Chains A and B, each alone.
Chain A
């Protein structure tokens, strides 16, 4: 089954403790991206990757890092999480960029206390 898989689904952590949210797609898609979703603000793009080893900042990249060493994986790293990073996070992939649909993962609800 074609899918985008994120882990974990739920995470509660403390301020400053480094964490990684994993994202994997099995569709051989070139383009992958991370979003956060907050009430009243909608989905905001954090980082995106056009292909392996090619990443770029979205609209809200501060406090996040990503890497794209393999085509299928695109982990999101929070080196020193803060409470304002409490949010619902989604990973998505597209076959390529421009005019293709985004396939979203099931989401990761992160709480930083």
Chain B
């Protein structure tokens, strides 16, 4: 079974609109964490946001917020006021212990 599922292989969004990237996960651990990374065409992995399983409030980092619904095992990334520079691959990842398992990614394209 997939540990991390990203069901949107690609998304096109108009500039300045908000966008939600979906991520669901599967784990039997009580302590775990969810990350979102951005990978532009150059290849580097850029950390966006982190949510720990015991964090009661949804994480926010600037224009990024994580909609964490623990009972549904979902950790969707919300990008507000999208910009052209947001066009990239986005990966959701789950931490179990020290290991990260990545989803298959969503390619986000921002349309001017």
B and A form one assembly: no
| Chain A interface residues (CB < 8 Å from chain B) | none
B: residues with CB less than 8 A from A are none
